[in-house]
Structure 1
Amino acid sequence: MKDQRFKIAHREALIGVVLVIINFAIWFGFAYGLGSGDPTTYTYVFGFPAWFFYSCIAGTGFMILLIWLVMKLFFKEVPFEDEEVEQ
């Protein structure tokens, strides 16, 4: 009989990998999407080039909120101790 904790751990690990892929896609999309042009044509947000602000600052804030939400909705507390089987 396989321990149920392994199934939970694998699901949560997969969720973690998906979150990393989302983070990379946001970072890459804004950094190379907005930042690939001529630097003289950059727009600025709060003194930062828009590509940097959206990829590094806003993207980080978004990921913190997304991870908090995922932790609340999809992750669950599991005991580390082996459960005693009563006979």
Structure 2
Amino acid sequence: MDHGFKIAHREALIGVGLAIVHFVWWFGFAYGLGSRPVEEYTYILGFPDWFFYSCIIGFILVSVTVIILAKFVLKDVSFEEEGDEL
């Protein structure tokens, strides 16, 4: 297997892992905190706490993680054949 495809495979696994972590984060807060009766909700910036942590904080954390991964972990790899020239 070509070295570039090994890197692409590793980076695809990183992406899938990040998506799974984001889903677990979202599901845990949305259904964990959101399963209480409405009268017991606490509010942060006008949002129910389950929504704030699952959707707003989760989105911010995943966005920052993607930026950090793109800047420091993921590599720019060319998949063009070295012998092919136009």
How big is each residue's C-alpha offset from its partner over 1:19-78, in whole Å with a ceiling of 9 and x where there is no partner?
001100110111011111111110001111000011011110110001111112210001
The TM-score with structure 2 as length reference comes to 0.90
Which structure 2 residue ranges, 5 or more long, are not aligned? none
**1:70 and 2:61 equivalent?**
no
User: What corresponds to 1:9 in structure 2?
Assistant: 8
Q: For residue 55 of structure 2, what is the amino acid of its counterpart? A: C
Q: Distance in 2 between matches of 1:43 and 1:53?
A: 10
Structure with the bigger RCO (C-alpha within 8 Å, sep 6+) is 2
Q: Which aligned segments of 4 or more residues in structure 1 are displaced greater than 2 angstroms?
A: none
The TM-score with structure 1 as length reference comes to 0.89
Q: Distance in 1 between matches of 2:79 and 2:6?
A: 14
Equivalenced residue count is 83
TM-superposed deviation, 1:4: 1.0
Which structure 1 residue ranges, 5 or more long, are not aligned? none
Aligned-residue sequence identity (percent) comes to 55
TM-superposed deviation, 1:80: 3.0
Task: Note the 1:1-87 alignment, pairs <5 A.
Answer: 2-84=1-83
TM-superposed deviation, 1:83: 1.6
Q: What is the RMSD of the two structures over their aligned residues, measured on CA atoms?
A: 0.9
